[in-house]
Homo-oligomer: A and B are copies of this chain.
Amino acid sequence: MPIRKPVFNPPFNVVRASHVELGVRDLGGSRAFYVDCLGYLVTEASADALYLRAVEERNHHSIVLRRSPEPHAHCVGFKVATEEDLDRAAFWFARLGLPTAFPEVPFQGRTLRTADPLGLPLDFYVRMDQAQSMLQRYAAYQGARIQRIDHINCFTPDVQASYDFYTDIGFRLTEYTETDDPDAKLWAVWMHRKGNVHDLAFTNGRGPRLDHIGVWTASALDILDICDVMATSGYLANMERGPGRHGISNAFFLYTRDPDGHRVELFTSDYLTVDPDLEPIRWSLADPQRQTLWGQPAPKSWFEEGSVFGDVPVREPVLAAQPIVAR
């Protein structure tokens, strides 16, 4: 039985998924995609990096784009509640023999840089510089009118191991996909801290790699609108999947690929998960409505392509089960 009880008193208090840092080869092209097309706001721009936030966000950035010879993902970042939580997190990771460091990170307070047992690079911090929220500066809304970062989805070579690790540190399961054999295996998990379907999800595959970041819009129409914009302004090939509704999470979605292939999901319409007695929802890997409630299978690229994390070695998945894929 692969599913466990949630841990309500975790060793440290993670508040939410906060940001990602992506390596991009051409900052100009990335700016065109994220800012001019998707409508991200630029909090800070230098010759080497762009710090972006969405209209609701007061945090200095939820996406950092850094000029890089290769299109790697650099890290995924989580906010913790207090400085004590940061110290407890460092202790927890160190005790497991995992790397811990406190590098200087621009625009952030004290930052713990570590990695999970599968090698996924993680940043934890408490304070970030605050910027002006543009939530009620509606004239600044552009593109997909993205409001905030919602979640981070990664490929892992061992979903059970990833699930176990994040359960231990307090992430709570909301939905999961299993194989149908008598000895059912976890194939994907959706886990949260902030009270909606997920802050962090894992999909079975070569990993650790970043599958996508999910960013939240207020309305499904914002997502239809950006489809029209992308399809008619040179970004048709960047529309990978959707728009559609997921069975899992009930979200309305569009998957896009940035100029380096990093995947960004526009996402809305999931649900509240704060109740401690919320029962996770099980999906069969063989159920086509799991992926897309309306029946369209995901393209093969969605299951196979992802962003590697710097020089973190990628392993083949321990589980060979295959999802339903479009041609």
Contacts and interface: CB of A to CB of B under 8 A. Distances in A.
A236 B250 CA distance: 16
Copies assembled: 4
Contacts of A247: 136
Interface string A137-153: 11101000001100000
Given A81-B276, A231-B294, A274-B16, A289 B219 contact: no
Interface stretch (A92-100, A115-123, A155-163, A220-228): A220-228
Contacts of A46: none
A277 interface: yes
A15 B239 contact: no
Interface in A227-248: 227-233, 236, 239, 243, 245, 247
B232 A252 contact: no
A271 interface: yes
Contacts of A135: 250, 271
Interface in A166-223: 194-195, 218-221
A251 B230 CA distance: 17
Contacts of A8: 81-82
B139 A278 contact: no
B136 A294 contact: no
Interface residues of A, number: 58
Contacts of A225: 138, 141
A11 interface: no
A327 B326 CA distance: 9
A58 interface: yes
Given A271-B56, A289-B236, A295 B231 contact: yes
A272 interface: yes
B232 A138 contact: yes
A293 interface: yes
A139 B220 CA distance: 18
A232 B130 CA distance: 21
A295 B218 contact: no
A195 B239 contact: no
A8 to B, nearest CB: 7
A71 to B, nearest CB: 23
A250 B136 CA distance: 7
Given A136-B232, A227-B245, A231-B294, A148 B275 contact: no
A247 to B, nearest CB: 7
Contact of A228 (B138, B219, B233, B275): B138
A206 to B, nearest CB: 26
A254 to B, nearest CB: 9
26 contacts: A16-B275, A58-B279, A81-B276, A130-B277, A135-B271, A136-B232, A136-B247, A137-B233, A138-B228, A138-B232, A139-B232, A148-B271, A194-B195, A194-B274, A195-B195, A219-B220, A219-B221, A220-B224, A224-B245, A224-B252, A227-B294, A228-B245, A228-B293, A230-B294, A231-B295, A327-B327
Nearest first, the 8 closest Cβ-Cβ pairs linking A and B are A138-B228, A139-B233, A138-B229, A195-B195, A327-B327, A231-B293, A194-B274, A231-B294
